[in-house]
Amino acid sequence: MSSLDPEQINALLAKAGRDSVVYLVGAGGCGVSGLAHLLIDAGFRVHGSDAVENEEIRQLRVRGAVIHIGHAASQLRAANPVLVVYSPAVRVENPELQAAKELKLPIIRRAVLLAAFVNRQRGICVAGMHGKTTTSALLAYGLEKLGATPSYAIGALVPQLPVHARLSSAEGSGTAAGTAPSLRLP
């Protein structure tokens, strides 16, 4: 897998430009689906796959993402991505990861793309043993109600928010620089 750092990822995405495809293996997981929302908000096209259909995938499809159920090398090849991101739940022998290797595409873990979104932004990061999702959801929802439009990435679907991750429009500059899992204050 590639050893790109967050700055290199931002540079790669900036060079590729908006409307480029980022392929997500394990797109239905909460962490990776959150990244998909951030990528869509930043102007990138999202393609990907997961083993099973779920609400996260349905939300992404409504926003224009192309998400396949099942993993096949042909799906990745057809998408012609500039970057491949995978979930920690995905095994290295996954056919899409193998195809990406053969095509010499940059392949990164979910956490590395997350770091690229966080890299150069002020934010609030919620950490700890218990309550991270609840606290993050309360912060995002509270800021929304106060009229702010924060970027956020929350580790679960939140009924009070339209999606569990968002890059505010002021931050969608064509690079991955945004926030997640932190909240950016305007």
pLDDT of the chain, 186 residues: tens digit per residue: 778 999 999 999 999 998 999 999 999 999 999 999 999 999 999 999 999 999 999 999 999 999 999 999 999 999 999 999 999 999 999 999 999 999 999 999 999 998 898 876 777 888 888 999 999 999 999 998 999 888 888 889 999 998 999 988 754 443 343 333 344 433
Q: Is residue 126 part of a domain?
A: no
Domain tally, the chain: 1
Q: Tell whether 26 is covered by a domain.
A: yes
CA–CA distance, 177 with 13 (Å, rounded to integer): 10
Sign of the Cα pseudo-torsion (75, 63, 13, 109, in order):
negative
Residue 167 lies in a domain: no
Domain of 20, CATH number, reads: 3.40.50.720
The pLDDT, as a whole number, for residue 121 is 72
The pTM of this model reads: 0.86
Q: How many CB atoms neighbour CB 3 within 10 A?
A: 9
* Residue 102 included in any domain: yes
Beta strands at 165-166 and 83-86: parallel, antiparallel or unpaired: unpaired
Domain membership flag for residue 93 = yes
Range of the domain at 21: 6-118
- Is 11 part of a structural domain of the chain? yes
Burial of 140: CB neighbours in 10 Å, binned 0-12, 13-18, 19+ = buried
Examine residue 132 and state whether it is found in any structural domain, yes or no: no
Establish if 80 belongs to a structural domain.
yes
